[in-house]
Structure 1
Amino acid sequence: MLDDKVMDLLAKILENQTETNSQLIELTSRVRKIETQAENDLGYKIKALYDAREIQNEKNDTIICALERIETKIEILQMETAHVRKIK
């Protein structure tokens, strides 16, 4: 009688352990799927950020060149204005 109870208890423990192991395998599979999806999303977002940074750098370079040209023109106009003031 005691042996039967011990065997039943061991059978239940084994059943629970098997079920837990099955759930762990399923959970591991889901985690891997989520991990892969996160890596893909992150890769896409990093590429988008890099592309946006490159575009912004190009725009900044264009603006800097335009400002340098404007600065040069202003300096020339200041010299011409100073020259005209001396003449008057």
Structure 2
Amino acid sequence: MDDKVMDLLGKILENQTETSSQLKELTSRVQKIETKVEHDLGHKIKALFDAREVQNEKNDTIINTLERIETKIEILQMETAHVRKIK
């Protein structure tokens, strides 16, 4: 009877050791995946931020150009109104 119990305990210990080894391997893989995902997301977020900055600069340029055009149109409207009064 003692031999059967010892064999059973030996098998349980062997299974537990194997399970522990598999868990360590799985943990290592998960950490590698987490690192890769964090790295990839970091690059993608930086790219989005850079694209946003470029778009903001373009928007500012367009707004400034529109303001200059608006000013020129207002001046032309005043000149046209002045010319109409003279006629």
> Smaller-chain TM-score range?
over 0.9
**What amino acid sits opposite 2:51 in the alignment?**
A
> What's the counterpart of residue 20 of structure 1?
19
Q: Partner residue of 1:71?
A: 70
Q: Residue in 1 aligned with 2:34?
A: 35
- For structure 2, which runs of at least 5 residues remain unmatched after alignment? none
The 1-side partners of 2:84 and 2:13 are apart by 103
Q: Gaps (5+ residues) in structure 1?
A: none
| 1:34, distance to aligned residue in structure 2 (A) | 0.6
- Name the TM-score, length of structure 2 as normaliser: 0.93
> Following the alignment from structure 2 to structure 1, what is the Cα–Cα distance between the partners of residues 51 and 26?
37
Percent identity over the alignment? 85
RMSD: 1.0
CA distance in 2, matches of 1:10, 1:4: 10
CA distance in 2, matches of 1:13, 1:81: 99
Counterpart of 2:49 in structure 1 is 50
The residue number in structure 1 matching 2:82 is 83
Match of residue 60 from structure 2:
61
Q: Give the AA of the match of 1:28.
A: T
Alpha-carbon separation, structure 1, partners of 2:80 and 2:6? 107
Moved over 6 A (4+): none
